[in-house]
Structure 1
Amino acid sequence: MSKHTPGPWTARQQFANRWLIEKDQGTNDAGEKLIPLCLAAVHITILEVGCGERDTEANARLISAAPDLLEALRGFLSAFPLPLRKDEKEAIEAAKTAIAKAEGRS
């Protein structure tokens, strides 16, 4: 399994076309809020790839949901009863492929 910063992550708009993906670091012993850990900056220039502000925001929110999506997918796989129908087997294979990609195994 790949190592990653555990969730939850949040997406916060910094500028019109720049979003930060951050991990809340909580508070120190004195109760002071610690500076969030910046995991990524999503910055898309309209001229570069044809994306607008809404696309940048959607991409940032999708990235920030990644740890939650991965855990939900793992839970989905463990909850399937047996025997499986063909469409259920296909859904499980798609889920396994997505998990492998997230874990760096594909």
Structure 2
Amino acid sequence: MNKQKHTSGPWFISNELEGMVMIFGGQREKYICRVQIHQTPRAFGMQEEDERFANARLISAAPDLLEACKFAYNEGCAGRALKNYKLLMDKLKDAITKAEANDENN
């Protein structure tokens, strides 16, 4: 596996401000990116807010998803996948839950 070049997790979503959210991560809570939630002008019916929040959640879960995938891969390669099955499933479930969390849980 390659050496990590991205900002370490966990990443989190800021409160919405002026129609967008920002994603921060790492020990020093570095800025990762911003996601525009409200399209301007909203009067044109371009209201995809739910989808945009879901995209922000998925982005913020990226380090957790990567860690879970690496863990699953390494355990499988080492022949320990069955031995550590519960831990493996818990890591995968936690990462998926974060990616699909409700807006209130951000």
Per the alignment, in what secondary structure is the counterpart of residue 15 of structure 1? coil
Distance between the aligned counterparts of 1:57 and 1:5, measured in 2? 21
Is 1:39–2:32 an aligned residue pair? Answer: yes
Distance 1:77 1:39, change over 3 A: same
Match of 2:83 in 1: none
Distance 2:18 2:33 in 1: 16
Distance 2:26 2:7 in 1: 11
Measure, in 1, the Cα distance between the counterparts of 2:53 and 2:18.
9
- Give the alignment's Cα RMSD to 1 decimal: 2.8
Matched, 1:15 2:8: no
Runs of 4+ in 1 over 3 A off after TM superposition: 44-47
Q: Structure 1 regions of 5+ residues with no counterpart?
A: 27-35, 83-106
Q: For 2:6, which of 4, 11, 19 is the aligned residue?
A: 4
Q: 1:43 and 1:76 mapped to 2: Cα distance?
A: 33
State the AA in 2 paired with 1:74: K
- AA at the equivalent of 1:56: R
Residues 16-75 of structure 1 deviation map (CA, whole Å, 9 limit, x = unaligned): 64111012546xxxxxxxxx321111115547xx56111111111110110110010011
Deviation at 1:11, TM superposition (A): 1.0
Which structure is richer in relative contact order (CA contacts within 8 A, separation 6 or more)?
1
In the alignment of these two chains, the number of paired residues is: 72
TM-score norm. by structure 2 comes to 0.54
Alignment of 1:1-106 (within 5 A): 1=2, 3-15=5-17, 17-23=19-25, 25=27, 36-46=29-39, 50=46, 52-80=48-76, 81=79
- Contact 1:18/1:56 (8 A) holds in 2: no
Report the TM-score, using the length of structure 1 for normalisation. 0.54
* Structure 2, unpaired ranges of 5+: 41-45, 81-106
